Structure 1
Amino acid sequence: MNNPGTHAHHLDDVRILDLFAGPGGLDVAAHFLGFKSLGIEWDRNACETRYAAGLPTIHADVSVMRETRFDEIPKSVDVLAGGPPCQSFSVAGNGAGRRALDTVEKFIHRLVDGEGEAGIDEDLHSLGDPRTALVLEPLRWLIKAIETEGRNPYKVIVLEQVPEVLPLWEVYAKLLRGGEGRLAGVKYEAECWKLKTEQFGVPQTRTRAVLVARLPGEGAIEPIEATHLPFDLNRGKRSAAQADMFSTDFTISGVKQQWISMAEALDTASKLKDSPVDASRLRTGSEMKFFIVSNYGSGGDPKKRGRRQSSEPAFTVTGKISRNKIYKSLDDHEADRFHRFTIPESGVLQSFPHNFPWSGNDQAQQVGNAVPPRLGMHVLSRALRGDNPSDAELTASSTWPSVSRATTEELRRLGCGDQGQCPPESHKISPLRRKSAP
């Protein structure tokens, strides 16, 4: 990072280090909870979004940053957070990570037991998909903090991934509780869960594996309390009597709960000041009524596309959300087709603020790769404060504060500097994309 004196104010009092930060899902959550964060992200396009949003960022490879630039991380950081890339573990990927779960578990133990990292790295390269190895990075960052003079172990660790990674988070949790080997007597309270995003007010169905670890002294880690009902994925296969059991109109703990539909989320966003979300194109008369056909197959059949009505949550928002087709009616597919979801609309379905300043290229991929901020608010609030986010905080999270161009330029210089320490080739733009570059 260049000119530390000029840009130090952006890093003052930073508490959260967000590895694999993407466009800022966890950082957006931290902002609305009142915590400052610093993200490390290698993708130039995601960094452009972060700079435009006013989020302090280092444009770097997480592994390289740990190995050669660890001293640049502010000593005020006491929370380690992140969601390593999920493609090799996801059911939408090629499955290399799922097949390697047992192997990766062995690597975790090898790291903690003190085996030389050069040999571990060499073996990791044989896994096929190099992204699989990145799930080890949070552990390596913790070990680095423990073994670096003048640094302290992180007080809190928050990790999220696709649900297939839960067995690895459980291995993490067991080792963090044990405090042995290179963890050298540093013991954490640690818990992990599978969380459904629609149960936390995100207008889409998406399941995530989450780990929360905390140094002793703050009490046991309580489960993260869902605020909404789960969406019944098998609703079309149930009898009428069974369907009644899954009605959204009943009470949990004395509070009426209901998942948020696409129509509700988009309609609410469209009514906010200067909103880029145009709900009028999704309306038939005064009613917002449409359905979407997924780009992915359903039930193991790649040709059988799933459907969701506007009165239901969206499918999992992925980098291919712009390929989902939106229709007015079930009867006339082609004649009544709307345009695809816009980037602001896709962001709203991920629970980003309606006016979040998506920038750079590959914006749909940025949206799909992000942690849903509203889920992040619940996880971080539980980990750092032991409670749920307040209604006021959740309400405020619908709108992102404006950021001056001067601040964006400062953050770009902070993150990229002379570009000499950025990932190789990351600032080169092909002639075909140069016109749309920021």
Structure 2
Amino acid sequence: MPDSTVPGDRLREIRLLRGLTQEELAERSGLSLPTVKKIEQGGSARIETYHALARGLRIRTSQLFEPGDQPSRRDHADDDRIDLLPMRQAVAPPLGPGGHLHVETVEIEPDLDQLRATARALDEAYHRDDYVTTSRLLPPLIRSAHTAVAHFDGGPQHVDALRLRSDALQQAGRLLTQIRVYDLAQMALRDAVRDSASAGDVLAEAAAVDLQGWALVREARLDEAEGVALATAEAIEPRLSRASRDELAVWGRLLVRASGAAARNNRPSEAREILQVARAAGSALGQRTGGASYKSGAFNHLSAAYQAIENHMIADRPDRVLGMAERIQAAEASTSNTRHRHLLDVARAHVALRQDGDAEDILDALHEESPDWLRHQQMASEVFADLLRKRKRLTQRQRRLAQFFAAA
């Protein structure tokens, strides 16, 4: 979670400037008095709790973390489950006067076609939620990409090598964000943006920026996430009548990312306005899907609707979440990650409305369908903790889920 000292100090400072007592702030925020007291005394809280406090104070959520943003994360990342030393060595190798120290000099020319095939296989493994395999095989792919970029420097295949390395680094950044290792994710994505820019691949560069925005949101760096996504969306804005599917999709993805950041930052009007533009991208696509070949993920006519549902949950409107969820088919989500994330929002809404059985059904279904994805989702463990808060005795299914989330 965000560093507790800064939000606690800032919360007390802003509350006093507003002339509010702790009791008054708790009432305006829809929180309990002990929660406000705990945070001001240095305790941690969920990002949703900070959002509720910001709403009560009528400020942006990010103002509670100024100065000194810290990663928004659980007590630990998942580097205790996955050996990340090879990934660190590949993504952030030592840099000497002659370049990366781990770049090999090769006698046989690197086979870019074979490296691209490996990259595609790892992309498929990631989408199967096989994070262990992905984390083991990405480092040698990245090292080979470093070697290829150096080997083809100045030659006709240099651009292809840069594109390959950007792809591999985006895969690394995406995985590292998923398992909450944000410092290394940002290093990978920064270099991916540079490689795509050097290769002149505008859409790949924008897709890498979108992944950067995802990591920034998860770090609670909400102003930056919204700003970089909007600036990039403006830079690549296509003419709707002439745009390709991929141009519409990457542009739409950036707008959805910016809307989500604005919603979390207690800027609901801006979030709605941005999302309205994103809907234009979806409308232009019609029933088609675009962006599947880019690491930021596919985008279709429902992508903006899923973000609208998430924004309603952030704003504590669970009734609207369930109302909208009934009108769309989760199976039509552009990616499995989007569908799973949407189902967690629906589960949160059920808990908020005291429909615990429905929420538990969703968690159990996700556990059966995609356990490796679920174990990395902080929201899922928080929803389950809410379900158990008033339980005196657990059912067999609840015990199974409790063991799963305890191990996660």
TM-score of the aligned structures, taking structure 1 as reference length = 0.29
Question: Which is richer in strand?
Answer: 1
Q: Higher relative CO (CA 8 A, sep ≥ 6), structure 1 or 2? A: 1
